[in-house]
Amino acid sequence: MADPGGNSGRNSGRNSRARPEDRDHGDDRRALDEEVGRQARRKLRARRRESRSAWFGLGMFGLVGWSVALPTLIGTAIGLWLDERYPGDVSWTLTFLIIGVAVGCLNAWFWVRQESNRE
């Protein structure tokens, strides 16, 4: 029997033109698929991270510690050298100690932020 819509058997029972509400459901379906996929990927990453969490945490702790300590020590050494060479009213040691701590904190913040972005 011939289809009045001219489909000749294909997609029988369906209208050949998509209704606007059908298109909206398709967009909703795609958005849902993307969200489910995003959550699945996040879950898989979390499962992979569990196996390395203790050692990874200790390594990150050490990295943050050294990234603060090293600039602080370098700043202190430069300050001591300047105090010895150019004594004056300003304590170069204290000045460069504070600069070293600030640089170290910025460095640690950079590393932690970079690692957080990978997750």
Number of residues that this document lists for the chain:
119
Cα separation, 30 vs 38, whole angstroms:
12
Instruction: State yes or no: pLDDT of 31 exceeds 80.
Output: yes
pLDDT digit string, tens, across residues 51-67:
556 777 777 778 888 88
Quick one: DSSP state of residue 19? P
> Using CB atoms within 10 A of its CB, is residue 70 exposed (0-12), middle (13-18) or buried (19+)?
middle
Is the distance from CB of 49 to CB of 97 less than 8 angstroms? no
Q: In this predicted structure, what is the pLDDT of residue 71?
A: 95
Return the domain boundaries, the chain: 19-51, 54-119
The letter for the amino acid at 3 is D
Cα separation, 71 vs 64, whole angstroms:
12
Cα separation, 111 vs 55, whole angstroms:
17
Average pLDDT over residues 28-46: 83
What token pair was written down for 83?
């105090």
Q: What is the mean pLDDT of the chain?
A: 78
Average pLDDT over residues 105-118: 84
Give 79 or 60, the one with higher predicted confidence: 79
Instruction: State yes or no: pLDDT of 102 exceeds 70.
Output: yes
Instruction: State yes or no: pLDDT of 77 exceeds 80.
Output: yes
The letter for the amino acid at 35 is E
Cα separation, 118 vs 19, whole angstroms:
42
